[in-house]
Structure 1
């Protein structure tokens, strides 16, 4: 099917057409023409007045399958990603069994290969994500794993992190280290701040995060290798990572959409969908994180999408599981705090970091595109959730801009609601 994008506003800093309005003709999945005006061929699909960028990538997504299909299947999860504007998603090994072998990586790749969006498994760093012994990292890399980390579990053994960074260097592997000292966290469930104290909820000190960040960066400086620190949430982490980058260390970091959208003041309602890890921080810290997005210290934004069934969330706050879904909300929230150009960069930068091929929007390249609008303002409601699980922290939140769909793998996916 031929596709014509009429009056498409192109946002792609790597393209000669950046920040111009053009018609784009896509034939058999390849960009055939980019001109001021194109007469649509007969029987072509025409999409009018959209903004277009290289396809977005989410660096931290959970779907559940295999093992937790009641939370989210790969089938529905990939459809959710597509409708949310993502052409690539990195899938965490939060499954049963854990993705810690070559066969587990192959299972996910095979089960998702027919979608327009592509799934890229993150292999567990350690066997069964228990933090004791390194998993089959090289074999998983050959099978298609793009990085290695134990989801929401810190690498408590410093020597194991050092060995992992050294072992992965010959094949360019990326180690993901979640920054959270569980001993300091203790039984904490929210940010250690006046809001949590007032509500009688045990606090998680910022110290639990930035101690780990400081240690990980020290080990990286000693051992070399490639390190990614996911979902940072403290001012100290921002400062430490900025210093490490100035030294030339090969480190990247991300922030979850919830950490720039919400403050711990929302805990007033005791809504367990606001229970996240890292926890929602105070307003001053959230402002620092937003500034770091514009300064380039934070490399990319993630949904940190974590579907959880009602049995895990419909509990007392102390007993509920950590996590919220968020794929559907990334654009509508991020677009409120940075420019369109910066937002697109934050949503596409993970491709290069994790070795996912990309090409500028140009004649002759494969179409891997996200279609969106930046101006529409609307309120996110439960009916807007695509996921099976409804544990969203963003119900009732203000959104700015809408995702229209994606073009990838010779497929056009448009949101039915649009």
Structure 2
């Protein structure tokens, strides 16, 4: 396949073309020419005034569904949703059935995506079946291709277990991911604990349920001198704890989910169960702290927190609905809309592409001649309204249907394939 991208501004601080408007000619899986007004015959041509191009984006921590929950999402549909949202790689959570807790399951995910448009990067489970009891053979999964280790949406509450995991991965410079939530403190909570939850008569999930676990995890990472990634932070104090840990030189990184940057707990006054997510939508003060954490580099990544669920799990009275929302197709547009004036396009690309690869020891991708063509093409000023036709996931549990957004993914290129967004 030959592919030509015309008149796109390069957003890549590692590229000699950063900030320049160029043409890019791609042959197979390589960028063979970069310049002005290239004279090339191409199978596909992409040109849109104002378009930008960057290294392909990576989303860490996606619920893929397959195996076991294919009615919610399978590997083909999640790959399609990822490409539509500008991601050329996604890291798959281990919470499937069977769980990704051995080298066979890791190899299954690696084999499916080999040579395809979207790379699926397995996250291996820390404990068998993600049940928090018996530690897995992480070194075997590492050799099979797991990029990190986590129990995914099941936060590890056992202090000894998380410490052993941190010590285990040191042998191969691995990284442990934990999404902090002390479920004993969040018991039966439905949303952020605060004025809004009180007024609605809903049981709340206090910031404390996140803050205490973040503090514990940082202490244990310091003790083990190991690498820790705290996923989907949502509270002000948690961000401060990570900021202090980084100032001490600890090997700690963290991420935030796009939805938690755009909406606060007031969005739940209409009891829209699609806004029922974990971590919960917190206060406006928490959102401001998250934005400041992104700006000063405390928060390294932005992710979709993509959790596909069938209608039977979401179209229920609010207390009975499951937690989770899809987000792959809308992550860039949502953060581009709500972080305008907070992060530049260069800084957004850093959170979406550069930092994920650096933190998780992935192959570096850059926009230069001779490099592998792993690219995302996007337009930061394109206005559009998210609707059912934009959903590529098998599930449709999104609170953004009918919402106008600013910023659109135009297409992606990876592994010798290309996708151009038809909308």
Shorter-chain TM range is over 0.9
Q: SS in structure 2 opposite 1:328? A: coil
Confirm or deny: 8 A CA contact 1:375 1:400 kept in the other structure: yes
> Structure 1 residue aligned with 2:358, among 352, 359, 362?
352
2:121 is aligned with 1:115: no
Deviations 1:375-400 (A, max 9, x none): 01222123321111011122233311
Aligned pairs for 1:17-416 (under 5 A) are: 17-41=17-41, 43-49=42-48, 50-336=51-337, 337=339, 338-348=343-353, 349-416=355-422
Alignment check: 8 A CA contact 1:71 1:307 kept: yes
- Contact 2:383 2:406 survives alignment (8 Å): yes
CA contact (8 A) 1:307 1:387 kept: yes
Contact in 1 for aligned 2:56/2:365 (Cα 8 Å)? no
Counterpart CA distance in 2 for 1:396 and 1:201 is 27
CA RMSD of aligned residues (A): 1.1
Report the Cα distance in structure 2 between the residues aligned to 1:48 and 1:327, rounded to whole angstroms: 24
Residues in 2 aligned to 1:267 and 1:194: alpha-carbon distance in whole angstroms: 12
2:8 corresponding residue in structure 1? 8
- Provide structure 1 residue ranges, at least 5 long, that are not aligned to the other structure: none
How far apart, CA to CA, are the structure 1 residues paired with 2:403 and 2:172? 43
Deviation at 1:357, TM superposition (A): 0.6
Equivalent pair of 2:109/2:122 in contact (CA under 8 Å): yes
Q: The residue matched to 2:80 in structure 1 has which SS?
A: helix
Deviation at 1:310, TM superposition (A): 1.1
For residue 46 of structure 1, report the CA deviation from its aligned partner: 1.6
How far apart, CA to CA, are the structure 2 residues paired with 1:38 and 1:321? Answer: 52
Q: C-alpha separation between the residues in 2 aligned to 1:179 and 1:359?
A: 30
- Cα displacement string for residues 158-205 of structure 1 (whole angstroms, at most 9, x for unaligned residues): 111111111110111111112111111111110001111111110000
8 Å CA contact 2:66–2:96 kept in 1: the answer is yes
Measure, in 2, the Cα distance between the counterparts of 1:291 and 1:333. 17
Counterpart-to-counterpart distance in 2, 1:92 and 1:44: 36
2:258 and 2:302 in contact (8 A); partners too: yes
| Inter-partner Cα distance in structure 2 for 1:199 and 1:385 | 31
**How many residues are treated as equivalent by the alignment?**
416
Q: CA deviation at 1:113?
A: 2.1
The TM-score, its normalising length taken from structure 2, stands at 0.96
Q: What is the SS of the residue equivalent to 1:318?
A: helix
* 3-state DSSP of counterpart to 2:99: coil
How far residue 114 of structure 1 moved from its aligned partner, in angstroms, is 4.1
- Where 1:254 maps in the other structure, the secondary structure is strand
Shift of 1:101: 0.6
Q: Per-residue deviation at 1:416?
A: 2.1
TM-score (norm 1): 0.97
Stretches (4+) displaced over 4 A: none
SS of structure 1 residue aligned to 2:413: strand
State how far apart, in whole Å, the 2-side matches of 1:45 and 1:386 are: 22
8 Å CA contact retained: 1:78, 1:115? no
Q: Deviations over 1:7-42 (max 9, x none)?
A: 11100011111011011111222111111221122x
Deviations 1:131-184 (A, max 9, x none): 111112111111111111111222111111111111110111111112111111
Helix, strand or coil: the match of 2:313?
helix
Structure 2's unaligned 5+ residue stretches are: none
TM superposition shift of 1:233: 0.2
